[in-house]
Every structure is written in C-alpha cells, then in structure tokens.
C-alpha cells in the first residue's frame, strides 16, 4: 500500500453532502475528485460534484440533463435512477447506473465531467441493478448484482456478477462470473459493488443487509479477477446496526473507495441522521471516513470503527463558494441545484416571460400523482431551516392553488398555499399524509393583495408557517406542525424531503400563472 505523505490537515464535518444525496460514488483525476449520487424520480438526474479536498464540494453539472438521457414517465419517487458509479479511464469519464422504471442498466460517457454527457448506451443482458464499470489490463468489465443464479431461496438472495464489456459496442461479451454472495449467513441484498486493483489483489467492496438499520459494508479479495473471492475475517468493516435506531448516525452502507494524490485512502458512503426520535426526514446523505490498511485489508476510521460527525483529512483545503441562500431568478436558466419531479413539461415554467421571476404555469397535475406537476424544488439539507418566497398569484377558481411545499413522496407532503373558497381568497396549510388530506389552518386574505410573502420555519420535526403582505411583518398561520410522517421510517422509500414552489389547477384546465420573485433557504 502507498504510504500517506505528510500534508496540511483539514478538519471536516459529516455529512460532507447533507440532505438527499444517497449512494455516493467517487473517482479522482489528478488532484480533482468527482462525486455522483442517486436521484430516483427527480430530474435532472445524477448531480456531479468536484472537490480538491473531499470536504468542500461544488456542483458542476447534472449528468442526465436531457429527456433523451432520462425517461421518468410514471416513476414513483423511489424508482427511476438507482446507484450511479463514476469512473475515469484514458481520457473519458464513464457513469453507469440503472433506470429501474425504463430500460434498465446503461452507460453514458463524457470527456469533460461538466458535460455534455452522451445519450445512454443500454446494456443488453445486464440483469439486476447497481452496476459499476472496472478497467483492467486493457479491458473493461461490467459488475452488477442480480438474483442468485443457483435459485433464489428467499427475498434478497442475490449475487455479485461480472462480465467483460466491449467499449466499442457497449455490449457484454464472454462468460459471466459469479464473484460473491456476501459475507453474512443468509445475507440479504448484496448490492452497490465496486472493484479495485490494489497491489496483488482485486478487492470487491459491497453493501449488504438492506439499506435500512441493518445496512453494512463488507469486502472480499482475490488474486484472480473472476474467481476465488474470500471475505475479510473482520467483516463488516463498517456498520451501525449494533448502535440502535436512535443513534445520531444510522443506515450506514453503500460505499466507494478513493485514494488521494498524497496516498491517503478514503471512503464515501451513505448514512442517515434521525432527529425528533428515529425519524430520517433528510433521507440518506453522503459521509466521509478515513481508511488505513492492515494485513492487506481496509480499516475504516482506525481505532473507532464507526462513522463520526467530525474527522481530519491530510489534503490541502480548497474552499468553494457556498450555495446561494436566496435565488432571485435573475438568470435565464435555473441553477444546478433545482429539480423537478419526473421529466418537466415543455411549457412548465419560464424565467424570461417576466424577467427576475420564476413563472410557474398552472397545470392539472398535482403532487399527489405519479406525474410531472408544476413544481420546482431543492433538497432539505438541515434539521432546522427556514424556507420562504414571495408570490404574485390570485386564484380565479376553487381549483387553482400555488405556494410552498415540503414533500417526501406522492402520499406524504405538507404545504402552504393560496386558494379560493366561495369567492373568498384564503391562505391555508394543508397536509397530505398517507393519501389523506387535512386542513390544518386557514386565514382570510384581502382579495386586493396580489403579492404575498410566505415562509416555513422548522425546528426539528416542528414546522411553523407564516405570511406577510409587506415583507417585513409576518403573521403566524400554523404553529409546530409535526413532520415526522415525512420521514423514511413512516413514508418509506429511498428519498429524502425536498422543498419548493408549486402551482396547480387540480385537474381542471387553466391559463393562470404564479410568479415567484425569489426563493430563500437556509439553516438557523
């Protein structure tokens, strides 16, 4: 193993990517690190980040930013794009992933990580999920997971398999090889596999135990690429399954290894931070750990063996600009942090029809359906946060509404919206929990007040809603609304909460628009 060179120490705080950034994969090119994560039913897909120190990350693009690359029609929140892997080889970046809703496993390529990335090469015969790509001795190999080829004895009885990939045709060739079925007895869901050639061994890193509290990272090695993989006697090399559901960091797994230019090794992985009890509203986030080598095996956070909220890297700090707290929508394009649910309709929004405003067109689709609705969002990244906007919108019928929402999936969200009831303008707070609608609070608005400031403020699981007509004096609409139902533990799935602006005509045609002057989001 290459020894770590002495360098400037940089303290970091976990998670390095707070919020809904699961299934991280990482590679290094020169002094630059590149990281991608899963996006499921959100568009654009697979954000890509760049860093020099593994601590300060800047989003430089989205790998799947065109409809020709990503079909999300009808996808559930936790369908769509699963577990991307990013790799670099001889001047080309490769991102390989699964669209579980349309087409299966595919590869896209680029010579510049900023893009543009190619249209997908779907890989015929690549059954299963969680693919990766591995380069060795002039050849490329596809590595993935699939149901056990000897017969599935129980749910989650899968295996890791490998087959050569012809990069000129993007087709699988040669024989298929089963490499490993995981470390534990009756293991479930061996997934997220990655291969590395380090000295004389091939190392196979996987996750197993499911992506919840029993998640774990295990490793095997072999001197042959296609057979003889033997698990580390100390498996799992990291897990929090033994620490309980209320530990500050849970669900640890799905990792990728990377070596810095100074020789130091690191691991990125997903984990969750429950709060207000065992509730993970932020979803699965990206964490960082140091890796040492002992007797030819990786040791994660030596001497501690678990993920910690703080750590040290021996890389030169390279600060990047923090994300904007307020977006004034002055550009003709949305920033890279913004997302839509599924593929956005062509006339969904505009930044040019009214300069300096985000204009959302009212569409019949709502957030309660597996459709694309008029909704633009970003990830919730803090337990305590404030999100607000100023909206110019006056509904003309009882079907037309617009406002702010925090959403987990199509069955779970809480929103504040302007609406109309029996010719009266109102502002109301609504919850949609397990498919059941509840009006939490409602106030009357002056029908002449076309411009309304709305804000939501969270302290842990308690979310309060406010409004103003002048932007300075805010009034309470609803106080301490419990949001624990927006957690993964209640709502299910693989995503975290997102916050954004929406408008809808609730199933009816409409030519109305809602204009948003700015949007702000930040932590206390």
Active centre residues (catalytic): 23, 191
What is the C-alpha to C-alpha distance for residues 395 and 402, in angstroms, rounded to an integer? Answer: 8
Pairing label, strands 358-361, 475-482: unpaired
**Rounded distance between C-alpha atoms, residue 179 and residue 66, angstroms:** 35
Instruction: Quote the radius of gyration of the chain (alpha carbons, Å).
Output: 24
- CB atoms under 10 Å from CB of 76, counted, come to 18
Handedness of CA 342, 344, 348, 350 (dihedral sign): positive
**Cβ-proximal residues to 169 (8 Å cutoff; 6+ apart), any chain:** none
The burial class, CB within 10 Å (0-12 / 13-18 / 19+), for 245 is middle
Report the C-alpha dihedral over residues 301, 307, 311, 314, rounded to 10 degrees: 40
Phi and psi at residue 211, to the nearest 5°: -90, 15
47 within 8 A of 76, measured Cβ to Cβ: no
What residues does 394 pair with on adjacent strands?
none
Q: Residue 264's CB: how many other CB atoms inside 10 A?
A: 20
């Amino acid at each position: 193993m290459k020894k770590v060179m002495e360098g400037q120490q940089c303290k970091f705080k976990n998670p390095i990517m707070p919020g809904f950034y699961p299934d991280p994969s990482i590679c290094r090119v020169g002094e630059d690190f590149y990281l991608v994560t899963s996006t499921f039913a959100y568009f654009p897909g697979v954000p890509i980040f760049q860093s020099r120190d593994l601590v300060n990350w800047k989003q430089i693009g989205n790998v799947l930013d065109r409809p020709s690359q990503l079909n999300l029609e009808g996808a559930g929140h936790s369908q769509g794009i699963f577990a991307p892997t990013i790799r670099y080889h001889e001047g080309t970046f490769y991102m390989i992933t699964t669209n579980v809703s349309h087409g299966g496993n595919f590869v896209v390529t680029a010579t510049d990580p900023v893009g543009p990335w190619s249209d997908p090469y779907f890989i015929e015969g690549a059954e299963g999920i969680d693919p990766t790509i591995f380069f060795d001795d002039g050849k490329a190999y596809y590595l993935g997971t699939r149901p056990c080829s000897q017969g599935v004895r129980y749910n989650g009885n899968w295996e890791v398999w490998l087959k050569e990939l012809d990069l000129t045709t993007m087709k699988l060739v040669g024989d298929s090889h089963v490499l490993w079925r995981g470390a534990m007895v009756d293991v479930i869901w061996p997934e997220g596999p990655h291969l590395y050639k380090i000295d004389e061994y091939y190392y196979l890193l996987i996750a197993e135990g499911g992506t919840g509290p029993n998640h774990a990272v295990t490793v095997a090695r072999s001197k042959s690429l296609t057979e003889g993989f033997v698990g580390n006697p100390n498996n799992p090399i990291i897990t929090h399954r033994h620490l309980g559901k209320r530990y500050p960091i849970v669900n640890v797994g799905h990792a990728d290894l990377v070596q810095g230019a100074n020789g130091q090794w690191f691991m990125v992985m997903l984990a969750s931070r429950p709060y207000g009890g065992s509730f993970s509203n932020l979803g699965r986030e990206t964490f960082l750990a140091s890796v040492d080598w002992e007797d030819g095996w990786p040791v994660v956070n030596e001497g501690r063996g678990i993920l910690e909220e703080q750590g040290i890297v021996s890389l030169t700090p390279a600060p990047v600009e923090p994300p904007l707290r307020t977006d004034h929508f002055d550009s003709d394009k949305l920033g890279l942090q913004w997302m839509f649910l599924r593929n956005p309709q062509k006339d969904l929004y505009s930044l040019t029809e009214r300069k300096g405003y985000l204009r959302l067109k009212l569409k019949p689709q709502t957030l309660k359906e597996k459709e694309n609705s008029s909704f633009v969002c970003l990830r919730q990244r803090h337990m305590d946060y404030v999100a607000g906007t100023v909206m110019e919108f006056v509904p003309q019928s009882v079907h037309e509404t617009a406002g702010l929402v925090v959403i987990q999936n199509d069955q779970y969200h809480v929103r504040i919206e302007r609406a109309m009831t029996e010719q009266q303008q109102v502002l109301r707070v609504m919850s949609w929990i397990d498919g059941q609608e509840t009006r939490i609070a409602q106030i009357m608005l002056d029908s002449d007040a076309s411009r309304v400031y709305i804000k939501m403020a969270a302290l842990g699981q308690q979310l309060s809603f406010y409004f103003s007509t002048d932007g300075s004096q805010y009034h309470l609409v609803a106080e301490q609304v419990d949001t624990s139902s927006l957690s993964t533990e209640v709502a299910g799935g693989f995503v975290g909460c997102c916050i954004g602006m929406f408008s809808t005509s609730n199933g009816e045609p409409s030519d109305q628009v809602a204009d948003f002057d700015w949007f702000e989001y930040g932590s206390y």
